[in-house]
Structure 1
Amino acid sequence: MTSATVRPVAEATEGSGAAGPAHAPRPAPASRPEPRLRALDGLRLVAALMVAAYHYGGRGGLVTDAWGGSPQHQFPTLHTLFAYGCLGVEVFFVISGFVICMSGWGRTLTAYFASRVSRLMPAYWVAVVLVTAVFALPQVAYETVSPSDALVNLTLMQQPLGADRVLGVCWTLWVEVRFYALFAVCVVLPGANRRRVLLFSGGWLLASVLARAAREPLLDVVLMPQYAPFFIGGIGLYLIHRDRRDAHAWALTAVCFLIGQHYMVGELYNADDPNAFAHRTTLGIVAVVAFGFAAVAAIALGWLRRANWRWLTVAGALTYPFYLVHEHLGWVVIRALHRTLGVPSAATFVLTVVSMLLLAWVLNRCVEKPLTPRLRAALSRR
């Protein structure tokens, strides 16, 4: 849920030792910006659609009210496949590790802070207000949060404060914010370089494993053992993007994949549960996690360089607002189309996704494009 533009960093080089001002080394030419990694934009949208498939047809709960029955009956075969869509979040985290390391490299702490806040908050604020307003309508059957909790949601601190969430997906933003803070303090503040990034990544990974063993709540909040391997794996893949011969980065990424798939299998494997909504297998979970790492690795290595179509940039721009609004507002659309108008399940699914993409386009054009640069400029002033 972050921008996928590569920001080059000027590397310090030593000139030749020729004597005399006439032979002073010429300044290195300014590095030309690398092209935008449009394949990364496309992968972000794929991850968002995976999550949407899970929310619309891969789980029970409130979506059952929208369909008027369990999605198991709406999608007798596909509901099992949709159940793996929740792993789109972990794919997002791998992408986020890659992009945050890329965008934080060479930036000051002020610029980094301004970039993150201006990227996250405008669309988030509007999404919170929009979902709260829609759920307050008498025609909508879902219960809204209290006015006090809705206001707290505007801070993105509702989870640690114990307030009800307006957006179901906002828990992932709380995870992202903690990652941003760790990276800012340990890498951006002292200045990013390969050695410091590797020390931060290896130290965080080891500390997260120890925190998992200690079962200390405060350590879990700070170090996020379950999600750390995905962020760190993305960081390792960015180091590989900078130098594909970096053996330390390859080793770091491989260890992160092995630990990450272990956590996901432990959390999501339910083939032995006869009452499970859908039965996820160990092989299926590992395959989806491997897909996330492999897809970002292919982009890091330049194998998808030909996937440079302009529409992928648009897809990337729609991903974040789509992710924010698709769950709860999607359920409202499903209820209206399927239960009120009698639209078949498959058509309802497709039309709901399309309608949420259109809403995301409106949010991008009317909220993000005008407000993000202004907020970034305001926060960048000293």
Structure 2
Amino acid sequence: MQPTLTSDRSSSAENAASVAAHPATQAEGGTRPGRQIFTGIELGRGVAAALVVLHHAGNIVAQPRFFGHEAFGSHLERFHVGVDFFFVLSGFIICWMHFDDLGRRNRLGNYAQKRFLRIYPPYWGILLPLIVLYQLFPAAGVPSQRDAANVVMSTLLLPYPLPPVLGVAWTLVHEIFFYAIFGAIIVAGRAALWLLPLWTIGIVAAQAIGDLPFALSFVLSPYNLQFVMGVAVALLLRRWRVPAPPWLFCAGIAVFMTAMLLPTPMSTHPFWGRIVFGAASVAMLAAIVEHERKRPIVLPPMLRLFGRASYAVYLVHPVALSLAVHGASRLRPDVPLEVVVVALASVAILAGIAYHVAVEGRLVTLFRHLLRAASPRGMS
């Protein structure tokens, strides 16, 4: 889950984006990105993060050691699809921001530094204390969270068969992999974008094969297809206008919400579900960008903060939920379970916003200074 959308030409805007969660630019004549921030996308990131938080709040409340019952029926079980929006958004943002870097090998270092600062410092700020906790108090975790190889791979966000120490980091592993793929395309040039359709064909073909070795199953995961969808949106919007964005947005959100709340064999399928939610995310994203190219959306400061803090919320919420549910389990038994879930999710979201305001930006600044100190010539 991750990038705020700004042009790569503005260092101050990029610095602000690097401490947010998942760039926005303005097109001149519909083709060239500018400096406008797509505030609608910022809000979308916040909503997607909130869906994931509600999903996990429902899961933890349903555990037998806490409340042992599901809230809101089984609907929250499918709120994890917020990550589908994030994957499509990430593909869009990276291509939109860095399209002009394609074929310019001297820009690879700049790209890599910005992607590193975007992901790793805030992540390590949560992960490293968890690693220490699980080593000192084995009962606080599971054996895989103390496995030495898994700890190393989790720290580096590299693919590994075991779940990462911070469970939600599985999405970041896919994110880093996509960043690496796009970095290779920057080096190879725009012609290498044709590798993405080939990757898509491989992902589709893998569905007919069945079980694959871990490495292949990771590379050919249906989730990776959503990055390609996002890249396709960016390429389309660089060349063409999208007609009737309000209607397109309504269609996208209608499909997304219907598939989430009224599951079908297709929407819950590991592959076709990614297509359904990915396509709906594509429609919403294209509509937002097209609308804001003509008429920027103005959001209240609190809603913009909510969007900018989405990455921090995503990182912090598992820990916040684990702590808060122990207190919630001591509430009077007649408190409706739905109230408990919403309260837990609210606490987790506020904890993520607090981390974003108080810690995330400082960590990014610290690591930026460290990188500059290690590379005196800098990266521009």
TM-score (norm 2): 0.72
2:198 aligned to which of 203, 211, 236 = 203
Aligned-residue offset at 1:358: 2.3
Matched residue type, 2:127: V
What does residue 298 of structure 1 align with?
287
Letter of the structure 1 residue corresponding to residue 93 of structure 2: V
**Whole-Å separation in 2 of the counterparts to 1:120 and 1:46:** 20
Structure-2 separation of matches of 1:101 and 1:331:
36
Number of the residue aligned with 2:186: 188
SS of 2:222 mapped into structure 1: coil
1:130-184 alpha-carbon deviations (Å, 9 max, x no partner): 445666898x865573273545532223x52x55532111111111111111111
Match of 1:323 in 2: 314
Structure 1 unaligned residues grouped into runs of 5+: 11-30, 247-256, 269-277
| Structure exhibiting the larger radius of gyration computed from Cα positions | 1
Q: Give the distance between the partners of 1:350 and 1:137, measured in 2 at CA.
A: 32
Give the whole-Å Cα distance in 2 for the aligned partners of 1:120 and 1:339.
36
Distance in 2 (CA, whole Å) between partners of 1:293 and 1:32 is 18
1:237 aligned onto 2:233: yes
Q: Deviations over 1:109-147 (max 9, x none)?
A: 111111111111111112113445666898x86557327
Which segment drifts farther, 330-339 or 144-153?
144-153
Q: Does 1:79 align with 2:69?
A: no
Deviation at 1:43, TM superposition (A): 0.9
Alpha-carbon contact 1:136-1:143 (below 8 Å) kept: no
Secondary structure of residue in 1 paired with 2:74 = helix
AA in 2 matched with 1:92: F
Identity of aligned pairs, percent? 24
Give the C-alpha shift of residue 296 in structure 1: 0.9
> 1:369: which partner in 2?
361
Instruction: Please tell me whether residue 99 in structure 1 is matched to residue 88 in structure 2.
Output: no
The CA distance in 1 between the partners of 2:74 and 2:175, in whole Å, is: 28
The separation in 2 between residues aligned to 1:231 and 1:129, in whole angstroms, is: 28
In terms of mean alpha carbon deviation, does 315-324 or 350-359 score higher?
350-359
For the aligned residue pairs, the C-alpha RMSD in angstroms reads: 3.7
Partner of 1:51: 52
> Residue 337 of structure 1 aligns with which residue?
328
Task: Tell me how far apart the structure 2 counterparts of residues 134 and 292 of structure 1 sit (CA, whole Å).
Answer: 37
Q: 1:307 aligns with which of 294, 297, 308?
A: 297
Instruction: Indicate the SS of the match to 1:201.
Output: helix
**Which residue in the other structure is 1:226 paired with?**
222
CA distance 1:70–1:345, shift in 2 (3 Å): closer
1:279-327 CA distance string (max 9 Å, x none) = 8324765665543222112123226944331444312221111111212
Q: Distance in 2 between matches of 1:65 and 1:164?
A: 22
* Alignment correspondent of 1:171: 170
Shift of 1:67: 3.3
Q: Distance in 2 between matches of 1:238 and 1:224?
A: 22
What CA distance in whole angstroms lies between the structure 2 residues aligned with 1:65 and 1:328? 19
1:121 is matched with which residue?
Answer: 120
Q: Is the contact between residue 39 and residue 296 of structure 2 (CA under 8 Å) also seen in structure 1?
A: no
Maintained 8 Å contact 1:152/1:163: no
Give the Cα–Cα distance (whole angstroms) in 2 for the partners of residues 329 and 307 of structure 1: 32
Q: How many residues align?
A: 323
Q: Is the 8 A contact 2:122 2:363 kept in 1?
A: no
Counterparts of 1:222 and 1:69 in 2: how far apart (Å)? Answer: 33
Q: Is the 8 A contact 1:80 1:280 kept in 2?
A: no
Aligned counterparts of 1:234 and 1:358: Cα–Cα separation in 2? 29
Write the letter of the residue equivalent to 2:220: M
TM-score (norm 1): 0.71
Structure 2: 5+ residue stretches without partners: 11-31, 102-106, 243-251
Q: How many Å separate the matches in 2 of 1:174 and 1:308?
A: 33
